[in-house]
């Protein structure tokens, strides 16, 4: 039995035990453990549970069956560093100050990047700050990418962190502040650190473990060979990739051989997927699976050849905010609390994740932080919003550099340079793949202007 099939077997055994776990769960109120898993550049449409049939994600799909999948979840920005910072602070890029991807190779013109996080980011209140203040043991393993990874602080008592330019192979890692060279594949090493941390936990002491994986972002040639072998003959005929667009920018070189590039990208996705059984096994062996919320999401997405582009917002000039780069997986499992095989239709954003986890843990975020999101725990539990409480927002927002977005269930508007343009407008009923820009179509002027009119107040309030 191969490594992957063994992992799938162990992870698959969870479904057989799901029903007893639901029946046996105590009715006592116990602070749940939290395992937050963050990918990078993984779009929702790349996962089987969101409709993909060519990229292999059996364990992500199974996690969706063990819990509830958010059908329409969105990153706040089509770039990894600011997207991750929003997940962990609940604040917009304008608020927390990481507004671009962090890299040591900043260039003068587009595509650019951000050399480091602003000094003010050290004062941000992160999920680990909030939960450690409520008695949680908090740890972080993986890609930090939000400033100095060697001393992250923020209430974390255990860290195994990598910087923005880390290598997948034999990476340099900071373990609790001491940097050292590690041997092996970074993705496996992150999981190993997480499994070891779970194994050290004491009964009755809640913990929050964040696992931040670089997968499936570049470099695409650094994954174990067995994952490339899975896609050796794949043609990816259903993905909808197009020839390289005239306005393709960052990542355009991967479109010289789009199918070959997707094969390598898919290998990174499946290598990430293979980590989930090991984490679930560690929780079950510790007998805390039913007391743990597992949340799986991504900091950003990737067009992966759709629209003739490769990458996120900087895949094109001007910046794009296509759903292909903005819509991310968001799956939550909590046996006995969150319904299995659930599907939530609400529009949710990365800025809603922190309030949701905090409510589940009985640790409301600080009101003075000015969060624009709110908890959707009620919906995840399968309940209706109580009478008297505001209805769930029907619009999500996004921002990257000079580009801002407002999207509801039917339409999306994208404004650049404060509306000076060029601007975009899409009708999903007519054009679900966003191939036809209808900004100048006067049949949509009312709804276009309504959505556009929401962007300014949102940006003013949460900047």
- Residue 25 in this model has a pLDDT that exceeds 50: no
Are 423 and 340 in the same domain?
A: no
CATH number where 459 lies: 3.30.1120
Within-domain flag for 8:
no
Residue after which a domain boundary falls, among 349, 364, 388? 388
pLDDT grade, residue 118 (50/70/90)?
A: confident
**Predicted confidence band at 150 (pLDDT cuts at 50, 70, 90)?**
confident
Nearest residue to 90 via CA among 78, 100, 104, 76: 76
Asked if residue 195 has pLDDT above 70, the reply is: yes
End-of-domain residue from the set 359, 388, 417? 388
The last residue of one of the domains, among 366, 388, 410, is: 388
Nearest one of 105, 147, 173, 90 to 367, comparing CA atoms: 90
Beta bridge partners of 331: 69, 296
Residue 47: inside a domain, yes or no?
yes
Question: How many other C-beta atoms are found inside a 10 Å radius of the C-beta of residue 352?
Answer: 28
Task: Tell me if 20 is assigned to some domain.
Answer: no
User: How far apart are alpha carbons 424 and 448 in whole angstroms?
Assistant: 9
pLDDT at 247: 96
Residue with tokens 């969150």: 338
pLDDT at 450 over 90: yes
**Of residues 24 and 35, more confidently modeled:** 35
Give residue-wise pLDDT tens across range 226-269: 999 999 999 999 999 999 999 999 999 999 999 999 999 999 99
Look at residue 365 in the predicted model and tell me its pLDDT. 78
Percentage of residues in the chain having pLDDT higher than 90: 82
Q: Are residues 365 and 459 in the same domain?
A: no
Q: Are residues 381 and 334 part of one domain? A: yes
427 and 288 within one domain = no
Give the pLDDT mean for 118-141: 94
Residues 352, 445: one domain?
Answer: no
pLDDT tens-digit readout, 323-377: 999 999 999 999 999 999 999 999 999 999 999 999 999 998 777 789 999 999 9
User: What was the pLDDT predicted at 29?
Assistant: 57
- Those residues whose C-beta lies under 8 Å from the C-beta of residue 355, and which sit 6 or more positions away, are 90, 364, 365, 371, 373, 374, 375
- Tell me, yes or no, whether 334 and 223 share the same domain: yes
Mean pLDDT over 183-198 rounds to: 98
- Do 309 and 443 belong to one domain? no
358 and 262 in one domain? yes
Answer yes or no: is 291 within a domain.
Answer: yes
Q: Are residues 252 and 324 in the same domain?
A: yes
Share of the chain above pLDDT 70, in %: 92
**Residue 393 belongs to a domain:** no
Three-state secondary structure of the chain:
CCHHHHHHHHHHHHHHHHHHHHHHCCCCCCCCEEEEEEECCCCHHHCHHHCCCCCCCHHHHHHHHHCEEEEEEECCCCCHHHHHHHHHHCCCHHHHCCCCCECCCCCCCCCCCECCCCHHHHHCCCHHHHHHCCCCEEEEEEECCCCCCCCCCCCCCEEEEECCCCCCECCEEEECCEEEECCCEHHHHHHHHHHHHHHHCCCCCCEEEEEECCCCCCCCCCCCHHHHHCCCCCCCCCCCCCCCCCCECCCHHHHHHHHHHHHHHHHHHHHHHCCHHHHHHHHHHCCCHHHEEEEEEECCCCCCCHHHCCCCHHHECCCCCCHHHHEECEEEECCCCCCCCEEEEEEEEHHHHHHHHHHHCCCCCCHHHCCCCCCCHHHHCCCCCCCCCCCCCCCEEEEECCEEEEECCCEEEEEEHHHCCCCEEEECCCCCCCCCCCCCCHHHHHHHHHHHHHHHHHHHHCC
CATH code of 147's domain: 3.40.720.10
The span from the CA of 154 to the CA of 130, in Å, is 9
Count structural domains, the chain: 2
Q: Is-contact 354 128, C-beta < 8 A?
A: no
Same-domain check for residues 353 and 460:
no
pTM: 0.93
Q: Do residues 371 and 406 both lie within one domain? A: no
11 domain residue, yes or no: no
Identify whether 22 is part of a domain: no
Strands 172-175 and 137-143: unpaired
Q: Quick check: is 225 in a domain?
A: yes
pLDDT of 279: 98
pLDDT one-digit tens code per residue, 74-97? 999 999 999 999 999 999 999 999
pLDDT over 50 at 14, yes or no: no
Task: Tell whether 163 and 295 lie within a shared domain.
Answer: yes
Q: Report the range out of 9-18, 22-31, 331-340 with the highest average pLDDT.
A: 331-340
Residue 440's domain comprises 402-463
């Amino acid at each position: 039995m191969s490594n992957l099939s063994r992992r799938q077997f162990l992870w698959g055994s969870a479904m057989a035990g799901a029903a007893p776990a639901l029946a046996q769960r105590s009715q006592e109120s116990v602070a749940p453990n939290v395992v937050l898993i963050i990918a990078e550049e993984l779009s929702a449409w790349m996962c089987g549970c969101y409709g993909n049939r060519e990229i292999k994600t059996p364990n992500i799909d199974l996690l969706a069956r063990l819990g509830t999948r958010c059908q329409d979840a969105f990153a706040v920005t089509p770039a990894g560093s600011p997207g991750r910072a929003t997940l962990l602070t609940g604040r917009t890029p304008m608020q927390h100050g990481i507004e671009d991807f962090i890299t040591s190779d900043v260039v003068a013109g587009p595509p650019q990047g951000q050399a480091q996080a602003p000094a003010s980011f050290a004062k941000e209140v992160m999920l680990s700050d909030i939960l450690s203040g409520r008695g949680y043991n908090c740890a972080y393993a993986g890609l930090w990418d939000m400033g100095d990874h060697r001393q992250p602080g923020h209430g974390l008592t255990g860290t195994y962190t990598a910087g923005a330019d880390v290598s997948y192979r034999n990476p340099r890692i900071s373990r609790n502040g001491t940097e050292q060279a590690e041997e092996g594949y970074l993705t496996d090493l992150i999981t190993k650190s997480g499994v070891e941390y779970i194994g050290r936990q004491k009964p009755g002491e809640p913990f929050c473990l964040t696992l931040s994986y670089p997968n499936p972002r570049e470099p695409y040639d650094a994954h174990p060979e067995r994952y490339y072998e899975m896609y050796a003959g794949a043609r990816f005929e259903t993905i909808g990739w197009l020839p390289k667009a005239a306005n393709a920018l960052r990542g355009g070189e991967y479109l010289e051989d789009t199918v070959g590039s997707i094969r390598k990208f898919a290998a990174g996705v499946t290598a990430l997927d293979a980590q989930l059984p090991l984490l679930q096994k560690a929780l079950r062996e510790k007998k805390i699976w039913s007391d743990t919320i597992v949340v799986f999401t991504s900091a950003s997405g990737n067009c992966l050849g759709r629209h003739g582009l490769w990458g996120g917002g900087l895949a094109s000039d001007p910046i794009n905010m296509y759903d292909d780069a903005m819509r991310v997986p968001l799956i939550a499992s909590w046996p006995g609390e969150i319904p299995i095989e659930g599907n939530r239709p609400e529009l949710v954003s990365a800025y809603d994740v922190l309030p949701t986890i905090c409510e589940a843990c009985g640790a409301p975020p600080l009101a003075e932080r000015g969060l624009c999101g709110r908890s959707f725990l009620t919906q995840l539990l399968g309940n209706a919003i109580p009478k008297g409480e505001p209805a769930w927002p029907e619009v999500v927002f996004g921002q990257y550099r000079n580009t801002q977005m407002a999207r509801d269930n039917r339409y999306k508007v994208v404004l650049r340079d404060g509306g000076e343009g060029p601007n975009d407008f899409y009708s999903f009923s007519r054009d679900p793949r966003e191939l036809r820009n209808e900004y100048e179509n006067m049949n949509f002027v009312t709804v276009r202007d309504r959505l556009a009119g929401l962007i300014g107040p949102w940006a003013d309030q949460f900047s």
